[in-house]
Amino acid sequence: MTASRTREHTATREQIATAGRIVVKVGSSSISGENVGQIAPLVTALADAHARGAEVILVSSGAIATGMPYLQLDARPTDLATQQAAAAVGQNVLIYRYQDSLDRYGIVAGQVLLTAGDLENPSHRSNAQRAMDRLLGLRILPIVNENDTVATQEIRFGDNDRLAALVSVLVKADLLVLLSDVDALYTKPPHEPGAVKIVDVTVGDQLADVTFGDIGAAGVGTGGAATKVSAARLAADAGTAVLVTSATLVAEALAGHPIGTFFEPAQP
């Protein structure tokens, strides 16, 4: 069961600035460690969209990465139990940081933790959709993350790009913005000679002859360019426009500036 709202189709870049329901996904490396200072400008961009009347959902990675220093860990743990422990500590700190920044704008965050099983089970999926719709109706800003403390290796989303796409489908979002460390998608890893920026991806474009490397330099995330393309296609095929760009360009992205890679949504 999906949300019952009528989607305000964001079919072109020019319509991004007026999108009514927006999901923004940010990765671990963009808001943890030495980049923790990026939370404030990210929140400012979300608050600006919120102030113009948009309904905004943030899908934020970073619980494990945020918790690592508190467990005296120098690298992302590989065993599930330590990942769960780091997530339990880090999720608390992460939400505090977001709320502390949102307080400047009088916006209240609502924490929503999901597992893959929640969106596969019809009853759980319906409950998640209803809760999200109610939070948005109350002008609360939901902050969604995978529930790493209870998720197992067998029932994980794999990466939060996919989670963000599934949330976009769940709530019938007009726009999904996937943020990373790179300003757009390229025909090959952007540091390689001959890499060309991909500006627009039309419906059905298979991106032939494109070679994807990883996005992310901090070693604390799990996604890359290929996962972003997969997630973007999932959302776009369901009717949600998608923009892939850098976390440092989030304000420009939500204002509709001609940046990043735009995935045209399928029409009903």
Query: Alpha-carbon distance 117 to 107, whole Å?
Result: 30
61 is in an annotated binding site: yes
25 is in an annotated binding site: yes
Angle between helices 80-102 and 39-51 (to 10 degrees): 60
CA 231 to chain centre: 10
Instruction: Determine phi and psi for 229, rounding to 5 degrees.
Output: -65, -45
Query: Alpha-carbon distance 239 to 8, whole Å?
Result: 10
180 is in an annotated binding site: yes
209 is in an annotated binding site: no
Query: Alpha-carbon distance 168 to 25, whole Å?
Result: 10
Binding site for substrate, by residue number, is 61, 148, 160
Q: Which residue ranges are tagged as binding site for ATP?
A: 25, 180-181
Question: Annotated binding site: which residue ranges?
Answer: 25, 61, 148, 160, 180-181
